[in-house]
């Protein structure tokens, strides 16, 4: 069986970095490129943590990590952006004190163009942050579109309530879309096939204490320990639903790369609001572009599958 080739652009959150670990572990996937955009993270620690995760869990894979030069319209809260520093400082990633995986000389969007242009086969794009680097790549090199198998994106929602709680916004958008709404519009304007893992499904996979405790009890497995340590950086606030409740947004998106009986989707047409109080909101509209929205997941089967995957990682 030939492996699915995947290019990964992420924004350095805890679940973005957990997703990188999973991609390196999933047998059906060959990771062909990694880049980091400073949206829900600071750039240097997120690039550094990515390089160390590839060193530790990449089984000698020949990858480098490209840093983005993109800047968003609506910045993420600083407390969330700090998480990459904590992951980068984990003793588990710093045992040897040398990092072999290199940082690319190229900015992320150029790295993406080069990877696509040099590939014989079409590549699946996995984006777990804003779409800015993809929009910039398409602007400079529209020909890459035919090299893209499809885009799997964590972002957007068609629910009335999104997850942005900011002054001057009405709360209807999802954060990755809100950071750069124009980029979403630019990508929507292409013919690229899009799988959108929206809040409809990610809301079904909150990180509960029950899951944290289950992982704690299995920490003799290096992969389970790593993920448990990462998520310990997002403190559990379980008595109230707050702006800091953590869901497995990007991890669900990553797992959805391969067909799963417990993940469900439907085809809709939509557009994105580019400015004003609802900027970043994705809205259903018959005349809009087609996307496949992942809108339902069986929570228990998802966590079972994920935990089994985590067991597969070895030193």
Contact residues toward ligand AGV (CB under 6 A) are 13, 15-16, 40, 80, 128-129, 154, 163, 174-176, 243-244, 246, 249-250
Give, as ranges, the residues between 217 and 256 that touch Ca ion (CB under 5 A): 250
d(CA 242, CA 159): 18
Kindly state whether residue 16 participates in binding Ca ion, applying the rule CB under 5 A: yes
> Is 227 in contact with 215 (CB distance < 8 Å)?
yes
- Is residue 11 a contact residue for Ca ion (CB under 5 A)? yes
Residue 158 binds which of Ca ion, ligand AGV, none (CB < 5-8 A, kind-dependent): none
Q: Which residues pair with 9 in a beta bridge?
A: 35, 127
Quick one: 124 or 147, whose CB is closer to Ca ion?
124
CB 197 within 8 A of CB 252: yes
Q: State in angstroms the smallest separation of the CB of 250 from Ca ion.
A: 5
Considering beta carbons, is residue 147 or 231 the nearer one to Ca ion? 231
Q: What is the DSSP string of 59-102?
A: TT----EEEP----SSPPPHHHHTHHHHHHT-GGG-SS----SP
Q: Choose the one of ligand AGV, Ca ion, none that binds residue 133, judging by a C-beta under 5 to 8 angstroms depending on kind.
A: none
Q: Smaller CB distance to ligand AGV: residue 244 or 304?
A: 244
Q: How many residues interact with Ca ion (rule CB under 5 A)? A: 6
List, in sequence order, the alpha helices (H) in the chain. 14-25, 43-57, 78-81, 83-88, 108-118, 132-140, 175-179, 181-188, 199-202, 209-217, 222-231, 249-255, 299-312
Which of Ca ion, ligand AGV, none interacts with 174 (beta carbon under 5 to 8 A by kind)? ligand AGV
Binding to Ca ion in span 125-154, by CB under 5 A: 128-129
| Interior/surface letters 186-196, b for 16+ CB within 10 angstroms, e for the rest | bbbebebebbb
Residue nearest to ligand AGV (CB): 13
> Given the complex with Ca ion, which of 138 and 197 has the nearer CB atom?
197
Query: Cβ 162 to ligand AGV, closest distance in Å?
Result: 8
Sign of CA dihedral 74, 157, 150, 36: positive
Contact call for residue 180 and Ca ion (CB under 5 A): no
Q: Which residues bind Ca ion (CB under 5 A)?
A: 11, 13, 16, 128-129, 250
């Amino acid at each position: 069986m030939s492996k699915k080739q995947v290019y990964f652009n992420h924004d350095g959150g805890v679940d973005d970095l957990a997703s990188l670990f999973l991609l390196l572990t999933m047998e059906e996937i060959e990771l062909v490129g990694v880049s980091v955009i400073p949206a829900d993270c600071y750039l240097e620690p997120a690039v550094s943590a990515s390089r160390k995760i590839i060193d530790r869990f990449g089984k000698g894979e020949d990858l480098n990590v490209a840093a983005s030069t993109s800047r968003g319209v609506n910045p993420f809260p600083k407390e969330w952006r700090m998480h990459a520093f904590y992951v980068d400082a984990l003793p588990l990633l710093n045992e040897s004190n040398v990092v072999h995986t290199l940082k690319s000389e190229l900015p992320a969007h150029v790295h993406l163009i080069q990877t696509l242009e040099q590939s014989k086969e079409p590549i699946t794009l996995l984006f777990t942050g804003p779409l800015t680097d993809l929009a910039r790549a398409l602007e400079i090199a529209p020909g890459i579109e035919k090299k893209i198998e499809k885009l799997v994106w964590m972002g957007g929602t068609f629910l009335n309530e999104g997850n942005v709680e900011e002054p001057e916004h009405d709360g209807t958008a999802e954060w990755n879309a809100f950071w750069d709404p124009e980029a979403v519009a630019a990508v929507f304007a292409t013919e690229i096939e899009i799988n959108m893992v929206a809040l409809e499904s990610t809301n079904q996979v909150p990180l509960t204490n029950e899951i944290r405790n289950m992982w704690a009890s299995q920490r003799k497995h290096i992969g389970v320990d790593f993920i448990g340590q990462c998520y310990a950086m997002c403190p559990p606030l379980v008595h109230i639903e707050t702006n800091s409740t953590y869901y497995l947004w990007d991890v669900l998106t990553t797992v959805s790369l391969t067909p799963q009986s417990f993940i469900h989707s439907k085809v809709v047409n939509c557009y994105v609001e580019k400015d004003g109080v609802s900027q970043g909101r994705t809205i259903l509209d018959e005349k809009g572009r087609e996307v496949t929205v992942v809108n339902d997941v069986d929570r228990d089967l998802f966590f079972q599958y994920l935990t089994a995957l985590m067991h597969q990682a070895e030193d």
